[in-house]
Amino acid sequence: MTLKEKKETDKILKKHHDSPNAAHYSSDGTYQRIAKHYFWIGMQKFITNYIKNCLDCARFKASNQKPAGLLQAPVQTQGIQKPSNILFILSQEKNKKNVFILKALPLDMVEPFCPENQLTRECATVLMEEFFLRFGLPRVITTTVPNLSLVCNN
């Protein structure tokens, strides 16, 4: 095969194997498509070698893919369960700062927090940084105080 013939056969293979319409058929499928229009000596072996070296075919070959039914979603948290609800308990003694007591159920975890300035924004920041970012968002948030924002703003 001369250099000119090699260039021509490469063009033919790219057209019938690599183009978007060709769909990267196997060596037999590509051979059948090319054999309808062309013939040269050693064509079958040339096509087989070309497809063995095709990077896209090697990457997406069925044997390189995971089985479809075994893919699983990643596990969110391993060691700690996600809390189902949070209970706010605020102490309201006169002349004393309010203290958040976060009780996470079903974790049976109790943590006290004392925001520096008792503003709603500060309370929300403490809740976000100390609890939600560590354990995730709960399904339910309950409180012992009827209007939590009024207490935090005092």
81 found inside a domain:
no
Helix 3-13 to helix 27-35 angle (10° resolution) is 110
Amino acid code (one letter) for 86: I
122 found inside a domain:
yes
Q: How many domains does the chain have?
A: 2
What b-and-e string marks burial along 85-107, b requiring 16 or more CB atoms within 10 Å of the CB?
ebbbebeeeeeeebebebbbeee
Q: Is the pTM of this model over 0.85?
A: no
148 found inside a domain:
no
Give the tens place of pLDDT for each residue, 93-150. 555 555 556 666 665 666 666 666 665 566 677 777 777 777 777 666 666 655 555 5
Residue-range definition of the domain harbouring residue 40: 3-60
82 found inside a domain:
no
Amino acid code (one letter) for 52: K
- Cβ-contact 114, 97 below 8 angstroms: yes
Q: Write the CA distances from 73 to 41, 69, 70, 118, 132, integer angstroms.
A: 51, 12, 10, 41, 22
